Structure 1
Amino acid sequence: MWIQYPLLALLLLIVILWLVTFVLRIRAIQAKNISVSDMFSVNRSAFPVHLRLLGNNYDNQFQQPVLFMLGLFALELDALAGPFWYGCAAVFVVARYWHSYEHVVRRDLLKRTLAFTLGTLSLLALWSNYLFYLFALND
């Protein structure tokens, strides 16, 4: 079951982002940098920039990565494996880590966009190849 490795790597990224966001938000409340009411209503405009970026990046992990996970599950259901799909999965996961790093740490919009584009292209390649396989199978 090869899909477990990219899934675990992606889940690790999500957990790390969640923990860092959680800890830094608690510290910001304790330091009175944000109010409990802002936290309760998730009024991100009142959050310091680094907390907004972390929150946005964490939310991003529930967009394209969900399509990625669905693609991996579809490949698993059809018992498909191969170097092409391994490569797409590896590129996607590495691109997500890179995207998060550029989004939260370096804050480099150009590199973040490149990472996003690379991840998007690998996701598109994975799904396109899978759909091509399904339609070719039915012919």
Structure 2
Amino acid sequence: MLYPMFLMVLLTFVVGFITVKVRFASVKSGEVSAKYFKLMDGGNVPEIVTKTSRNFNNQFEVPVLFYVVCCLYISLGIESDLAVIFAWLFVVSRMVHSYIHLTYNYIIHRMLSFWAGLMFVLALWIVLFINQI
């Protein structure tokens, strides 16, 4: 479980670095006032600023359920090959989701990768529950 969790953390940092880079570039180019970032309000911003900010925020929503369930597997000493597979599938789905969101942003593809990830994390919780019965 530790390796998928580590990769998920790396994804969060990569998206965070991209977000910061985009924000600095938008201020430097004059497309966005630095004041905008004080409250993230007021004025129109380029789509890339909104996309990267929202994608970064996404890394702290459903993935929280992933981190919690993985920590439970580790702390309870539960070893499950099926759970490890679901953990890797979750991380891959989140990577695909971020790629889609930050590049061509086709809503159907993004939604499918999001729902796949949601189902994988649900599966992790179900397997954990079954192992504890």
What TM-score, normalized to structure 2? 0.95
Q: Cα RMSD over matched residues? A: 1.2
Which residue, out of 63, 77, 82, partners 1:84? 82
Distance 1:80 1:123 in 2: 16
Relative to 1, partners in 2 of residues 1:75 and 1:17: Cα closer, same or farther, differing over 3 Å? Answer: same
* Equivalent pair of 1:38/1:46 in contact (CA under 8 Å): no
Equivalent residues in 2 for 1:60-79, closer than 5 Å: 60-79=58-77
Distance 1:67 1:35 in 2: 35
Partner of 1:93: 91
Q: Does residue 117 in structure 1 map to residue 119 in structure 2? A: no
Structure 1: tracts of 5 or more residues without a match: none
Relative to 1, partners in 2 of residues 1:62 and 1:45: Cα closer, same or farther, differing over 3 Å? Answer: farther
Matched residue SS, 2:23: helix
> Offset at 1:129?
1.5
Partner of 1:23: 21
Structure with larger RCO (C-alpha < 8 A, sep 6+)? 2
Structure 2: tracts of 5 or more residues without a match: none
Q: Which amino acid aligns with 1:21?
A: T
Partner of 2:35: 37
> Offset at 1:132?
2.3
> After TM superposition, which residue ranges in structure 1, 4 or more long, deviate above 6 angstroms?
none
> Offset at 1:133?
2.1
* Equivalent pair of 1:44/1:52 in contact (CA under 8 Å): no
Q: Which amino acid aligns with 1:33?
A: E
Distance 2:42 2:80 in 1: 43
What TM-score, normalized to structure 1? 0.91
Which residue, out of 7, 10, 14, partners 2:8? 10
Distance 1:24 1:109 in 2: 22
> Offset at 1:131?
1.5
Identity %: 25
